[in-house]
Amino acid sequence: MDTSSPVAPLLASYAALGGTNYAGDLNLPSKRAIPAICETLLQLLFPGFLEEEPLTAADLPMITTERLATVREALTSEISRSISCQEKGHEADSPQRAAKTVARLLHTLPEIRRLLATDITAAYNGDPAAKSTQEIILSYPCVEAIAIQRLAHQLYKEDIPLLPRMMTEWSHDRTGIDIHPGATIGDYFFIDHGTGVVIGETCHIGSHVKLYQGVTLGARSFPKDKNGRVKKGLKRHPTVEDHVTIYANATVLGGKTIIGAKSTIGASVFLMESVPPGSVATLPDCGYSIKSPT
């Protein structure tokens, strides 16, 4: 039995393969900080819905001020770390840039709330099982997934590294809905049930779009450069125009694929080509039989 200390070989492994810090003692953003940041942002978007104690109208200004201060400080720290680690030579500027980025994000909260109100309306109008908008906010996983994605998308547009993806992956872990922060999503967006939905980075989704569980809006292929490395920044994922419904387990792939407005994509359809507006795409009728009990 080897009784020697494992410290030395473990430290050697850190030196060879990376350890606690990154690029010269610059700490990466904290994965453990993300839940608190996301939960505070959700409380700011849906005041009164995610409280441990009742929130009164009289308390709202004070609580809102405190939450904004808390999330401003936490986000500024994590964004500053993200910039410092990923953008060499900008370490000294990262706190100031982070502070300005957070200020802009927090000023978008009213507009994000407006968009989320349309999403909640779409869920209420699109699901006959929904009894109230309160039920949707409190219990539908799509609300949290879309809310976090809309927040993360603002940071993605500001070219903030790491943090937007960490936020959407936190939501993915909780909801089973995987929406990349780069995806562009219009208003009145509804994901019914939601489990297993995947929406890629370069997707463009219009207004009044409804997806069901298991839908994938993914990439068809990954072009490579002359050195065999995957090319970054290309449009790899589909465009879904307004008033489209895509049913359960359908897969739509490719950056040149466009689902025309007012189209319906049936369950389990596999598409790698565009469909014109007003189309209905379904699988061939394979038939089935039902045996009556004897």
What DSSP assignment string belongs to 178-243? EE-TT-EE-SS-EEES-TT-EE-TT-EE-SS-EEETT-EEE-S---B-TTSPBPPS---S-EE-TT
Taking a C-beta distance cutoff of 8 angstroms, is the pair 251, 269 a contact? Answer: yes
5-14, 20-29, 156-165, 191-200: least confident range: 20-29
CB-based contacts of 128-135 (< 8 A; 24+ apart in sequence): 134/49
Grade residue 12 by pLDDT with cuts at 50, 70 and 90: confident
Identical topology for domains 19-176 and 196-283: no
* pLDDT at site 87: 65
Helices (runs of H) and strands (runs of E) counted in the chain = 8, 14
Does position 114 have pLDDT exceeding 80, yes or no?
yes
Homologous superfamily of domain range 196-283: Hexapeptide repeat proteins (2.160.10.10)
Does position 25 have pLDDT exceeding 80, yes or no?
no
Does position 275 have pLDDT exceeding 70, yes or no?
yes
Task: At 215, give phi and psi (nearest 5°).
Answer: -70, 135
What DSSP assignment string belongs to 21-83? SBTTTBPPPPTTHHHHHHHHHHHHHSTTTS-SS---TTTHHHHHHHHHHHHHHHHHHHHHHHH
Q: How far apart are CA 140 and CA 135, in angstroms?
A: 7
Neighbours of 151 (CB within 10 A): 25
Neighbours of 184 (CB within 10 A): 14
Q: How far apart are CA 181 and CA 199, in angstroms?
A: 9
CATH of 19-176, one of 1.10.3130.10, 1.10.3720.10, 3.90.950.10, 3.40.50.150: 1.10.3130.10
Determine the average pLDDT of the residues in 157-186. Answer: 97
Does position 26 have pLDDT exceeding 70, yes or no?
no
Average pLDDT, the chain: 92
Hey, is 93 helix, strand or coil?
coil
pTM, two decimal places: 0.90
Neighbours of 7 (CB within 10 A): 8
> Angle of helix 60-86 relative to helix 163-175, nearest 10 degrees?
120
Q: Which residue bears the tokens 């809006």? A: 217
Sheet (strand 210-212) strand order:
190-192, 210-212, 245-246, 264-265, 280-281
Query: For the chain, what are the domain ranges?
Result: 19-176, 196-283
Determine the average pLDDT of the residues in 194-220. Answer: 97
Please state, for a pLDDT cut of 70, what percent of the chain lies above it: 94
Grade residue 225 by pLDDT with cuts at 50, 70 and 90: confident
In the Cβ-directed half-sphere of 176, how many Cα atoms lie within 13 Å?
12
| Chain-centroid distance, C-alpha 261 | 23
Does position 170 have pLDDT exceeding 80, yes or no?
yes
